[in-house]
Structure 1
Amino acid sequence: MCFYNQRRFTCGDWMWTNFAQRCNYEYRTGETCGMRLVNVTECEATQCRLCEKIETKCRRHKNETDRLNRWKREGGTLVASMDRTQKIIMELEKEISQLTMERDDRRRALS
C-alpha cells in the first residue's frame, strides 16, 4: 500500500504521477509493495490525451464535411477532390470510433 499522487482531468479520466510515500509493509530498499493508494489528487484544467485527440479529429471531420457540402452546393466541378474528401471523412470517422472505444475500454478497466 504505497502512496502515489494522482492527476484528475476535466473529462473525468485520471493518471498516476509521482511516488509519494513508501508503506511499512515493504522492507527492501528502493522497492514498493505494488498496491497504489492516492496520496494527493491534483486537478488539471485540461482534458486527457485521448479526449484531446478525439476533439481534434471531430473538428477536422466537421471542417471536411463543411467543405464537401459547400462544393456540392456550388456545383460539383471538383469531382476528384470531392472523392478524396469523402475518403478522408470516412478515415476520420473510423479513427474517432477507435479512439472512443479505447477511451471507453480504459474507463471500464479502471472502474
Structure 2
Amino acid sequence: MCFFDQHRFACGDWKWGHFRQHCNREYRTGETCGMKLIMTTVPVGQKCKLCEKIDTKQRRRTAEVERINRWRREGSKFSASIDRSYEIVRSLDAEIYELGCERQRRLQSI
C-alpha cells in the first residue's frame, strides 16, 4: 500500500505518476510493497496518447472521405484514386476500432 501520484487526463483516462511515500508494510529500502494507493490526483488538461491517436486517425479518415466526395463530383476520371482511398478508409476504420477496444480494455482493467 505505497502511495503514488495519479495523473487524470481530460478524456477520463489516468496513469500512475511518481512514487510519494512508503507504507509501513515495506521494510526494504528503495522497494515498494506492490499495492498502489493514490496520494494526490493531478489533473492534466490534455487527452491521453491513445485518445490523441484515435482523434488523429478520425481526422485523417474525414479528410479521405471528403477527398472521395470531391473526386466523385468531378467525374469518373479518378476511379483508381477513389478505390485506393476506400482501402485507406477501411484500414483507418479497423485501426480506430482496435484503438477503441484497447481503450475499453484499459478502462475495464481498473
Q: TM-score range by the shorter chain?
A: over 0.9
Q: In 1, distance between residues paired with 2:44 and 2:76?
A: 46
Deviation at 1:30, TM superposition (A): 1.2
Residue 90 of structure 1 corresponds to which residue in structure 2? 90
TM-score using structure 2 length: 0.97
Q: Secondary structure at the match of 2:89?
A: helix
Deviation at 1:74, TM superposition (A): 1.2
Which consecutive residues of structure 1, in runs of 5 or more, have no partner in the other structure?
none
Q: Secondary structure at the match of 2:77?
A: coil
Which consecutive residues of structure 2, in runs of 5 or more, have no partner in the other structure?
none
Aligned-partner residue type, residue 49 of structure 2: R
Q: 4+ residue runs of structure 1 moved beyond 3 angstroms?
A: none
Q: In 1, distance between residues paired with 2:76 and 2:5?
A: 56
The more displaced of 40-49 and 78-87 is: 78-87
Identity across the alignment (%): 52
Alignment of 1:32-43 (within 5 A): 32-43=32-43
Q: Secondary structure at the match of 1:37?
A: strand
Q: In 1, distance between residues paired with 2:70 and 2:11?
A: 33
1:33-55 per-position Cα deviation (integer Å, ceiling 9, x unaligned): 11100011110000011100000
Report how many residues are paired.
110
Aligned-partner residue type, residue 68 of structure 2: L
1:65-90 per-position Cα deviation (integer Å, ceiling 9, x unaligned): 00001101111201211111111010
Residue 59 of structure 1 corresponds to which residue in structure 2? 59
Aligned-partner residue type, residue 106 of structure 2: R
1:79-105 per-position Cα deviation (integer Å, ceiling 9, x unaligned): 211111111010000000000000011
Please tell me the root mean square deviation across aligned C-alpha atoms, in Å. 0.7
Residue 7 of structure 1 corresponds to which residue in structure 2? 7
